[in-house]
Structure 1
Amino acid sequence: MSELKVRDFVFGDGTPRICVPLMGRTEEDILNHANLIRNEIDRLDAMYKDNPELRIAVIEWRSDFYEHLSDTKKLADMLKKLRDIFADRLLLFTFRSEEQGGELRNDRVGANLEPVMKTAIGSGCIDIVDIEVTCGNYKIVRATTAAHSEGVTVLMSYHDTRKTPHDEEVIDKLRNMEILGGDILKIAVTPKNEFDTRRIMDLNRRMVSESYKPIVLIAMGEKGVKSRFKCKETGSCLTFATVGQESAPGQLEAADLIALLKNQ
């Protein structure tokens, strides 16, 4: 697996980067949560000043919760405000469909995807954009090409909120993501038992040696918690933690996750 540098942060170097989701429906809710995260970043940076690799690196704005998402002017203004708050961190823009575990209904995604992505990618405010591999190859290629032309890294994602697919299905999806131009390849699954979690962790370890791109495989929910903090063992390049609000089941609080990573 090759390393990928995005500003001051490296993905795929053996240490998982920590990502915290930013949630909220209204501007007030979003900014309140952003300031809460900012305060926690500063507190944890001071606490772990001798371990800079453990700092929160990425803020994922879950824009699918935003009430004015379809208003591109308000969307651009919000991105600027978030960029100012997190000037020293990476800003990941995520527009999650309901099918993939998000807030938006599928019929809204089709209509809103292109103008929303165009606004976010062209804003100059984001470092990484999440592109769902389920949205269709034509839209994927258009969005990926636009992102790369603006110097924006593409995190290509797939979420299975019902089960853990067979290994070969996961491998096929990862290879397809790589072909379609993903820079970071992310698959999150839902384990039914401990065996599923071990299987997805073993597969992460295997694919790190076979893929040219940084990979993150996540087992969601309580049964998959181990996959979120055993990242050094599996080679996963990214792990998600919470500050106040979780965006997916099984996410640990950032402070707890950092403590676990430090002791590995």
Structure 2
Amino acid sequence: MKPILVRGQPLAQGALPAVCIPLVGKTAPALLSEARAAAAKQPHLVEWRVDFFEGIADASAVAGLAQELRTAAGVPLLFTRRSRREGGEAIALDEPQVADLYRVVCERQVADLVDVEMESPLVAPMVAAAGQHGVPTVLSFHDFQRTPPLQELLARFRQAKDLGADVGKLAVMPRSKADVLVLLQATLQASETLDIPVAGMAMGPLGAVSRVCGGVFGSALTFAVGQAASAPGQIPIDELRAALAVLRSAG
């Protein structure tokens, strides 16, 4: 597994993935409460799903709150706007406005990583803006309907690399146990052939196992529930940590 680096340092040590808690509050007080609760759980990083935030239209306020959340959580912050087409909330911003929001967040150095969807029409300038300010980019793709075939998943991981990702991330919905195996195989092959860290996860109840064992197959990142989930199949962090400890001791 290639670790995810922030300021040249790996988020997690050893062979297990970094554990991320999502923050999904709609208001600043709710988010700060989530961040303080996350700090007590000691994840490797937190993800602010800003599409849940009711004040998303004020870029300056978002940047200020991002800094507060990072301080409250005490760990690196991944800044993410998830679009409706990939499972996110409806927001009152168009894509150029989203790109401008990311530019402000990166300019002010208030996020340690940013997540940009590969399917965004403005993916190139958003990646460039992050790179200009030294903020690593997670290039992501989510399919809430199905698990694409192996070659399509591998092509998505390569697309992330080709677009300039520091981390490539795929999340898919399995309809069978075999789909989970396809996701894990794609993650393993991508981790062995690409020179960037990758993260692969299957969602929903069938995919929950991938959130536990994904690191064994090269996934550098997994998501766990602090107070609220951001995607189906996420496991409470205490339970996830216990399962990862079993894998660590067995390995």
TM-score bucket (shorter structure): over 0.9
Query: What's the offset of the Cα at 1:15?
Result: 2.1
The alignment status of 1:100 with 2:86, answered yes or no, reads yes
**Distance across 2 between alignment mates of 1:12 and 1:166:** 32
CA RMSD of aligned residues (A): 1.7
3-state secondary structure, aligned to 1:261 = helix
Q: Say whether the 8 Å CA contact 1:229–1:261 is kept in structure 2.
A: yes
Query: Relative to 1, partners in 2 of residues 1:68 and 1:186: Cα closer, same or farther, differing over 3 Å?
Result: same
Distance in 1 between the 2:11 and 2:228 partners? 26
1:20 deviation in Å?
0.6
Check if 1:256 corresponds to 2:229.
no
- Report the equivalent of 2:98: 113
The CA deviation at 1:4 is: 4.4
Q: Which residue among 129, 150, 158 is the counterpart of 1:146?
A: 129
Q: Deviations over 1:194-218 (max 9, x none)?
A: 1101121122112211111111111
Name stretches of at least 5 consecutive residues in structure 1 with no aligned partner. Answer: 42-55
Report the residue type matching 2:33 in the other structure. N
SS of the equivalent of 2:44 reads strand
1:90 corresponds to 2:91:
no
**Cα distance between partner residues in 2 of 1:9 and 1:207:** 19
Gap change, CA 1:19 and 1:2, over 3 Å in 2:
closer
Q: Which runs of 5+ in 2 are unaligned?
A: none
**Quick check: 1:243–1:253 contact (8 Å CA) kept in 2?**
yes
Aligned-pair CA distance for 1:109: 3.8
Q: Measure, in 2, the Cα distance between the counterparts of 1:84 and 1:12.
A: 22
Corresponding residue to 2:191 among 195, 200, 208: 208
- Partner of 1:35, secondary structure, is helix
| SS, match of residue 134 in structure 1 | coil
Q: Distance in 2 between matches of 1:169 and 1:195?
A: 16
The one-character-per-residue Cα deviations of 1:39-64 (angstroms, maximum 9, x if unpaired) are 232xxxxxxxxxxxxxx111000000
Deviation at 1:9, TM superposition (A): 2.4
- The aligned runs of 1:10-49 (5 Å cut-off) are 10=11, 14-41=15-42
Supply the AA of the counterpart residue of 2:98.
Answer: L
Name which of 73, 92, 98 aligns with 2:60: 73
Q: Which amino acid aligns with 2:114?
A: V
Aligned length: 246
Q: Which letter maps to 2:219? A: S
Counterpart pick for 1:63 among 44, 50, 54:
50
Q: Kindly report which structure 2 residues correspond to 1:176-255, keeping only aligned pairs within 5 A, or say none.
A: 176-255=159-238
Structure 1 pair 109–229 and aligned structure 2 pair: CA distance change class (3 A): farther
Change (3 A) 1:101 1:235: same
Q: Distance in 1 between matches of 2:214 and 2:99?
A: 33
- Is residue 2:117 matched to residue 1:132? yes
In the superposition, the TM-score normalised over structure 2's length comes to 0.92
CA gap of 1:109–1:259, structure 2 versus 1, over 3 A, is farther
TM-score norm. by structure 1 comes to: 0.88
TM superposition shift of 1:14:
3.0
Deviation at 1:128, TM superposition (A): 0.3
- Relative distance call for 1:109 and 1:159 in structure 2 (3 A) is farther
Distance 1:84 1:10, change over 3 A: closer
Rounded Cα–Cα distance in structure 2 between residues aligned with 1:171 and 1:28 = 40
Q: 1:235-261: per-residue Cα shift (whole Å, max 9, x none)? A: 110000011100000000001001000
